[in-house]
Structure 1
Amino acid sequence: MPRLPRSTTHRVRRGILAAVAVSTASALLGGCFAGSAADADDNSEDGGRIRVAMMQPPRSGLSPLSDDAFKLSRWSTAETLVRLDRDGDALPSLATSWRQQGRTWTFTLREGVTFHDGSPLTPASVVRSLTAAAASSPKPRILDGVDLTVRADSSRSVRVTTAQADPLVPQRLSSPQLSILAAKAYRGRTVDPVGAGTGPFVLVRADGTSSATLDRYDRYWGGRAKAPGIDVRYVPDGTARAAALRSDEADIVEAVPVSQAALLDRKLITEVPMPRTNTLYLNTERGAFRDPALRAAAREAVDARALVSGVYEGRADRAGGLLGPALPWAAKLRTAVRRTPAADPKGATITIGTFTDRAELPEVAQLLQQQLREAGFKVELDVREYTHIEADALAGKFDAFVLSRATVLDSGDPAAYLYSDFAGDGSFNISQLSDSAVDSALATAAATATGEARRKAVVTAEAAVLATDAAVPLLHERVIQGDAENVVGAAHDPRERELITVDTYVQ
């Protein structure tokens, strides 16, 4: 039987997926949304509760000191001292103003803010939350390389001091991992956000890795939310998430897989270029890719165009570097990188790891396996759920790892991502990279004041990383979000910080 062209194969696959999608969604969602949208709060003038299908379940019990913090932010339940505008500049949130004097920043707190348990926002609250984050292990990514202390300055202000003068302190404090929670959230080494935030929705129930329930908080300082509440279900299966939108099992669906986008009504999906790069990380410490010449051979073997047109069906942008079109200034400042010459792999054996939570990544790994085999490598794959593979990836147990990585998720500034992933002491250094030129460039970028000079320093640091071939940038993703026709005001945030706001509701 002749092999079908790849485009035809995708059409056949879509047809099969469409035929089984609704039943798959119903099975995985298990009726958890039953009655939520129809049984609108009698006090709501705008509509029913918002049913959300999210991609990844919590990894750390919704602790704000982990990546689970971004769920709390997207549900508008936990808030930070500052927030970011579209350009990454800091704006007021729980703090109304701030000023810098040397190594110290003074933040004035907003008056009239209460936590969901009724207790007031005070300087002591801020000191407690930020100190817990700074002392946690591992630290939140945004604090990589940052020695930060906090103390009350007056009845309405706090002083944040760093070991070195840091121009990015306001942006750092916008990270959801530095959310300010009530005293009740902190019990020993655990942080429990249930009923402890300040946002327009209070988290009233967290059912492990299956669901979460939030109700409107009527004492919110920013005004009354338009929706009476949010019902969240974690649906790692991308086919089921998309089907939940088609079958009216969910109102908002995050991270619709590329393979499913064509099956949905175009009016129901929004596609936004993201500051997220799909990268092949190469282990520089052990195995075949300890040799820079073999890393260069892997880089030359990769055909990113085939990944974009095949796996992503054109719904992505081929990478010219680690920083993509969501940061348009990067391409304008980027210059040529001096590369190590490639060597013949001569059958060197490598293992590529990746995870199933993002539906496209296993396909990316399979295509990379084919490309690297054609270049002369012997390639094996190890594909698991993210929660079962992260520890091995961080421990350097793979020769290569395919990862979809946000580049400005935490601070609006890519210097923090570059440090976390490529500094010798970075907390997410999957490549196990330790390079003095890279560390020097990263330190320079971190110390440079915000503005054009800092952007140039960031691009110089990017070039230093690329020169090592510790990472092969493949493509820049676009987020595809599904919203039912009766959803009003859902956020479409490329940084994945906002999803449901005070103005979001279901008609």
Structure 2
Amino acid sequence: MNLPKTLPLAAISVASSLLLTGCFSSGAPSASEGKRIRVAMMQPPRSALSPLSDDAFKLSRWSTAETLVTLDKDGDAQPALATKWRRTGDKTWNFTIRQGVEFHDGSALTAQAVVRSLNAATRAAPKPRILDGVDMKVKASGGSTVAVTTAEADPLVPQRLSSPQLSILAAKAYRGKTVSPVGAGTGAFVLKKVNGTTSATLDRNADYWGGKAKAAGIDVTFVPDGAARAAALRSGDADIVEAVPVSQAALLDEGQISEVPMPRTNTLYLNTEHGPFADPALRAAARRAIDAKALVKGVYENRADVARGLLGPALPWAAKERDGRTKTAKAGDPGGRSITIGTFTDRAELPEVATVLQQQLRDAGFKVKLEVREYANIESDALKGKFDAFILSRATVLDSGDPAAYLHSDFAGDGSFNISQLNDETVDGAVRKAEATAAGDARRAAILKAETAILNTDAAIPMLHERVIQGDATDVVGSAKDPRERELVTNETYVK
């Protein structure tokens, strides 16, 4: 359902009600049971909620599937299904598995269960992003210990194992080539039913090891249209709304929205392999043409931050310590060269960003064509380098809490998400050094050097850093405001 911004508020509310009615449970449990929480989410499942895909982050946000490790606000590893870990050599880490935990089907969490889930991830095709370029072997080492060995020394193994794509599930989840999380997690809520790309139902796990959830369950509906999601909150059809578009935030009461700086950067990726932007001078011309302040003010209504680099204010150490650009290519004359910019509709602001950039680049002397589709229908063409430029809203620490994996995936010559088709020895070397450096100040310094090397190529032009805009009804208590988009409803979340 596509609802234009110009629809009257009442019309949007009615449309939203029609969209959401019947998707949420209308049951009224007793006060002692707690109410169910109705959640409107932006993106429907793309891979039937397989934890080996990006759908894993939905399972994490619903507190149904869990990992060995979680991350604190600084990105440091903390215990979850593993209670402790230690490095026993350059390439091996031992994890002690939490005792007394049961999967939702009643089977026990054991070292062998952990091995099964992690090995399924290592054998997946394609592999989860967090394992991009990582050769990892997992085996049980005693009844409650799991040994994780990598082909190369990897200082970030604990952080990698925090990725929702490495969730630990019961044996029933693994059938042939498919992985189904229904009734197979360990978290505070049991995934009971998935209705394709429409809705999902979760019930409280009364035996949750981390403490009984305060809510009776979660009723999820998938609402790609941002105006409809916001209208659901206004009309009372949803309790929590994910990713409120900037254009809708002003229509909500201030007490209903929360803004948190995200590790997410709105970036223009330039095709360095072929086409006009294979010329560094034209990449520099594009960079000089872009007025990010105009985007923040005009498209994001000042609910975003102008980018100074790829890594934004959600990583305070990056903003504080960045060295900046060390060399700058001389800008060339576009001379009327034609370029095609691609982007997608799933994030409401991106088509508007594309329109503004089109005009800015035209003013600089380019001829600009836009191609805008749904993300599922455009991603493969972007990865194959079929566009001269591509606008992407990209999470920079989504998987490990550490941006080195993002820098590798997006900018290394062998990166799996290298939309810019970049193949630069200096960048590759800087990224490899950052990946090999132990966690801490030295690693952060190496990451910033890699960022500088990437910025020097003008393969990617960071424009702005987004903020999470989450909508909560006024009677919602304890929903997570997570910049990494891993948490949303926890066992402490409830509706009054």
Shared topology, TM-score over 0.5? yes
CA 1:17–1:434 in structure 2 vs 1: closer, same or farther (change >3 Å)?
farther
Pick aligned residue for 1:473 from 462, 466, 472: 462
Q: Read off the aligned partner of 2:274 and give its amino acid letter.
A: R
Partner residue of 2:163?
175
Partner residue of 1:278?
266
| Shift of residue 218, structure 1, vs aligned partner | 1.1
Is this contact kept in 1: 2:5–2:227, CA < 8 A? no
| Shift of residue 27, structure 1, vs aligned partner | 2.9
Partner residue of 2:23?
32
Size of the alignment, in residue pairs? 491
With the length of structure 2 as denominator, give the TM-score of the two structures: 0.97
For 2:460 and 2:172, locate their aligned partners in 1 and report how far apart those are by CA, in whole Å.
Answer: 42
Partner residue of 1:410?
399
| Shift of residue 46, structure 1, vs aligned partner | 5.7
- Map 1:293-308 to 2 at 5 A: 293-308=281-296
Does the residue aligned with 2:265 lie in a helix, a strand or coil? strand
Q: Read off the aligned partner of 1:28 and give its amino acid letter.
A: L
Partner residue of 2:246?
258
Is this contact kept in 1: 2:25–2:219, CA < 8 A? no
**Is 1:224 the equivalent of 2:224?**
no
| Shift of residue 211, structure 1, vs aligned partner | 0.5
**Is 1:211 the equivalent of 2:199?**
yes
Q: Deviations over 1:306-350 (max 9, x none)?
A: 000000000000000000001111122212311111111111111
Pick aligned residue for 1:464 from 436, 448, 453: 453
Is this contact kept in 2: 1:318–1:474, CA < 8 A? yes
| Shift of residue 31, structure 1, vs aligned partner | 2.9
Does the residue aligned with 1:382 lie in a helix, a strand or coil? strand
Does the residue aligned with 2:85 lie in a helix, a strand or coil? strand
Q: Deviations over 1:47-84 (max 9, x none)?
A: 31100000000111101111100000000000000000
For 1:431 and 1:139, locate their aligned partners in 2 and report how far apart those are by CA, in whole Å.
Answer: 21
Uncovered stretches (5+) of structure 1, i.e. residues with no partner: 1-12
| Shift of residue 28, structure 1, vs aligned partner | 2.4
**Is 1:114 the equivalent of 2:105?**
no
For 2:438 and 2:180, locate their aligned partners in 1 and report how far apart those are by CA, in whole Å.
Answer: 36
Is this contact kept in 1: 2:21–2:237, CA < 8 A? no
Aligned-residue CA RMSD in angstroms? 1.2
Does the residue aligned with 2:109 lie in a helix, a strand or coil? coil
Identity %: 72
For 1:380 and 1:225, locate their aligned partners in 2 and report how far apart those are by CA, in whole Å.
Answer: 51
**Is 1:446 the equivalent of 2:435?**
yes
Partner residue of 1:433?
422
For 1:246 and 1:392, locate their aligned partners in 2 and report how far apart those are by CA, in whole Å.
Answer: 38
Uncovered stretches (5+) of structure 2, i.e. residues with no partner: none
Partner residue of 1:423?
412
Greater CA deviation, 362-371 or 137-146? Answer: 137-146
Is this contact kept in 2: 1:46–1:506, CA < 8 A? no
Partner residue of 2:60?
73
With the length of structure 1 as denominator, give the TM-score of the two structures: 0.95
For 2:47 and 2:21, locate their aligned partners in 1 and report how far apart those are by CA, in whole Å.
Answer: 23
Q: Read off the aligned partner of 2:436 and give its amino acid letter.
A: A
**Is 1:84 the equivalent of 2:71?**
yes
Is this contact kept in 2: 1:14–1:263, CA < 8 A? no
| Shift of residue 40, structure 1, vs aligned partner | 3.2
**Is 1:506 the equivalent of 2:495?**
yes
Is this contact kept in 2: 1:276–1:324, CA < 8 A? yes
For 2:365 and 2:123, locate their aligned partners in 1 and report how far apart those are by CA, in whole Å.
Answer: 47
For 2:339 and 2:175, locate their aligned partners in 1 and report how far apart those are by CA, in whole Å.
Answer: 44
- Map 1:95-494 to 2 at 5 A: 95-102=82-89, 103-337=91-325, 338-494=327-483
For 1:435 and 1:188, locate their aligned partners in 2 and report how far apart those are by CA, in whole Å.
Answer: 40
Partner residue of 1:6?
none
Is this contact kept in 1: 2:40–2:238, CA < 8 A? yes
**Is 1:51 the equivalent of 2:38?**
yes
Does the residue aligned with 2:296 lie in a helix, a strand or coil? helix
For 1:25 and 1:266, locate their aligned partners in 2 and report how far apart those are by CA, in whole Å.
Answer: 20
Q: Deviations over 1:432-457 (max 9, x none)?
A: 11111111000000000111100000
| Shift of residue 176, structure 1, vs aligned partner | 0.3
Greater CA deviation, 240-249 or 15-24? Answer: 15-24
Q: Deviations over 1:282-307 (max 9, x none)?
A: 11112111111111111111100000
